[in-house]
Amino acid sequence: MIPDKGKNQLHQGKIYIVSTPIGNMEDITLRALKVLKEVGLIAAESKERTRKLCTHYTIKTPITTYNSHNQHYKGRVLLEKVKSGFDIALVSDAGTPGLSDPGSRLVREAIDNHIRLVPIPGVSASLAALSVSGLPTDRFIFVGFLSNKKGRRRKELDDLKREARTIIFFESPHRLIKMLKDMHEILGNRDIVVAKEMTKVFEEVKKGSVSKILSSFEDEKIRGEYTIIAEGAKKRRASVIDN
């Protein structure tokens, strides 16, 4: 009998953490395409978005949904399939799974169950924006999305006030201005880069002080997905009092 696609009859399967394009369909590795074709199942944040990718590259592997709405029970289902010998590919809507999306939960559960995880690296909106930011890239931290609650968001920014490394944020279009205003008030008028729709048709990268960027949005309709790269805090010069 021919074994099922993606199923290892003798050993436990693996979970491949597969990076997918963040916009341009051509931003995917040959290895990622090979894995998506060979695994038994693709666990996707959105079946519709992943199906478009699979259709584009003639990938016929079955797709199931794994997202924030069903992760509590679907994770157990996926782990059982892997334990029975199936290889599964985990993908997010865009970019690398596990970064500000539900994939991180499945990764932790797989580790707890001694299941092998195989990273299939690729494009990342945070690193793509950082690479064109002109800000220091030797030391940086990834914060992702701040809280959608004003008080907590401001507290999170206050905790970063003395952070000397370059800081990477994600933000949604409907909260972008509020976040930048809080940043201006709490972190100061430091240099930032706001990257919109990376690798997509309407890709745009704005560079300048926080106040300058805020002014640029005054007559602009805010749409799309945003990555914000912020300059780290400048070291305070020693004063006569310090000495």
Q: Which residues pair with 169 in a beta bridge?
A: 144, 228
Predicted pLDDT of residue 219:
84
CATH fourth-level superfamily of 14-120:
Tetrapyrrole methylase, N-terminal domain (3.40.1010.10)
Q: Is the pLDDT of residue 124 over 60?
A: yes
Q: Is the pLDDT of residue 156 over 90?
A: yes
- CB of 82 closer than 8 Å to CB of 13: yes
Predicted pLDDT of residue 240:
38
Helical segments of the chain, H only: 30-38, 47-56, 71-83, 103-112, 125-131, 150-159, 176-187, 210-216
- Give the mean model confidence (pLDDT) for residues 12-36: 96
CATH fourth-level superfamily of 125-230:
Tetrapyrrole methylase, C-terminal domain (3.30.950.10)
Predicted pLDDT of residue 221:
87
Q: What percent of the chain has pLDDT over 90?
A: 80
* One-letter amino acid for residue 217 of the chain: F
For the segment 41-53, what is each residue's pLDDT rounded down to a tens digit?
999 999 999 999 9
Locate the domains of the chain by residue range.
14-120, 125-230
Instruction: Tell me the CB-side half-sphere exposure of residue 160, using CA atoms within 13 A.
Output: 28
- Give the mean model confidence (pLDDT) for residues 236-242: 40
- CB of 132 closer than 8 Å to CB of 31: no
* Best CA proximity match to 174, nearest among 136, 148, 200: 148
Task: Say what the pTM is.
Answer: 0.84
Domain 125-230 in the same topology as domain 14-120: no
